[in-house]
Amino acid sequence: MADSKLMTKLNAGLAGGGGSGGRGRAQRRIYLDDAGAAPLLPEVAAALRDLTPANPSSLHQEGRAARAALDRARDIVATQLGADRGEITFTSSGTEAVNLALFGVARRLPKQARILTWAAEHQSVLGPARRLQAEGHSVTIAEVDAAARADPDAITSGIALVSIGLANNEVGTVQPVDEIVRRAHDVGALVHLDACAGPRWIPVPRGPDLISISGQKLGAGAGGMLFVREGVRIDPLLYGGPQEWGRRAGREDVAGAIAVSTALASSGRGREERAVVAAQHAEGLRALLEECGGRLTGAALRLPNYASATFPGRRGEDMLLALDVAGVAASSGSACASGSLDPSHVLLAMGLGMDQALGSLRLTIGYDTTDDDLALARAILSSVLAPTTARA
């Protein structure tokens, strides 16, 4: 059952034209879900404006132009990651890049070789890990601490593949990647870094053997890419032609490659300055969430644009709907699927109870979030999230 006060606000907003102040007046929207999908960058839109639709494998002039654009995109990504062109494979998404990394490496390993990841990783990591386990591979899904931080001590002799996120997608905790890479390499293991969350705000480390990146979370709109260090062999997920160095068959998505490369390069320009401003804004939002009765989640070392909390006794979808009607786009750790609500697996892994895991809220600031946006957002959040004893 939904929180009665939140549903009253929701129904009032719907009756009043979505909180716009009357029919015919456009509602001012405040987007605080940068971690869910970053808005398309103007640089990306400009880069795609004169794109040729030709197949980059074709020999005619248009095909050669498409090939040249694809090569430029690959070189841009390689420069950003300190890599060589042949180490970059473009994919359709971050999820595909993660799957290609994990299945691609694991299926070349003996079944007894151990694979390690942690319980608060993204489902695009945990899903393949469980599938590999079902196929007979030795998979360990290690525990995390109360801030969703992975423990490098889980890396022991006999592990052949380690998968860790750059930062936790739900609560923003930055993982000890350098230490994990060092320990994994000490025991002879390969390291896959899921860098889908974070590159807009912090640099991507150069130690891992495989790195997955999502275009959607960079502001590219779509696309993804996988870095595979020279000498590391992976099996493809798709079979057919020799595209992408034999790692991914099928016609190359030139538009996606251009979008991802442009967004990745853009994220590296002014990153530190943007991070400082975002951290200041996020600190204010976290203080407000606490004032409204929330319990903050995540480590002190987190992505600078994150403010996340749980609200015991409330439901994430109720808060999201009420905020949406009032003009704020936010997200929750809970996922609605087929009419049923699942608790956040991240919060459960952190040791929180079911009640808290169902009542999470995540606010993430973007490049274009203004002081005026945040002032209005704080007023709306204070109204919607005001503590109440009314519970259904």
* DSSP character at residue 46: H
**How does pLDDT run across 93-149, given as a tens digit for each residue?**
999 999 999 999 999 999 999 999 999 999 999 999 999 999 999 999 999 999 999
| Residues of the domain holding 374 | 4-31+271-384
Domain termination residue (choose one: 268, 302, 321): 268
Domain termination residue (choose one: 268, 286, 308): 268
For residue 362, what are its two tokens?
A: 């995540």
Band of residue 177 on the pLDDT scale cut at 50, 70, 90: very high
Query: Is 222 in contact with 269 (CB distance < 8 Å)?
Result: no
If asked whether residues 117 and 242 sit together in one domain, one would say yes
- Lookup result for tokens 């996120």: 165
If asked whether residues 26 and 171 sit together in one domain, one would say no
Q: Which residues pair with 310 in a beta bridge?
A: 295, 360
If asked whether residues 259 and 339 sit together in one domain, one would say no
Residue 139 lies in a domain: yes
**How does pLDDT run across 238-272, given as a tens digit for each residue?**
999 999 999 999 999 999 999 999 999 999 999 99
| CA torsion angle 328 329 333 334 (round to 10) | 90
* DSSP character at residue 33: B
If asked whether residues 84 and 207 sit together in one domain, one would say yes
**How does pLDDT run across 305-353, given as a tens digit for each residue?**
999 999 988 999 999 999 999 999 999 865 443 344 688 999 999 999 9
If asked whether residues 18 and 154 sit together in one domain, one would say no
Q: Closest Cα to residue 163, out of 153, 182, 177?
A: 177
If asked whether residues 260 and 277 sit together in one domain, one would say no
User: CATH number, domain at 230?
Assistant: 3.40.640.10
**How does pLDDT run across 87-109, given as a tens digit for each residue?**
999 999 999 999 999 999 999 99
If asked whether residues 136 and 183 sit together in one domain, one would say yes
If asked whether residues 291 and 306 sit together in one domain, one would say yes
Q: Report CA Rg, the chain.
A: 22
* Total tally of structural domains belonging to the chain: 2
Band of residue 387 on the pLDDT scale cut at 50, 70, 90: confident
Query: Is 254 in contact with 96 (CB distance < 8 Å)?
Result: no
User: CATH number, domain at 300?
Assistant: 3.90.1150.10
If asked whether residues 118 and 169 sit together in one domain, one would say yes
* Residues catalogued as catalytic: 336
Domain termination residue (choose one: 238, 268, 298): 268
Q: What is the pTM (predicted TM-score) of this model?
A: 0.91
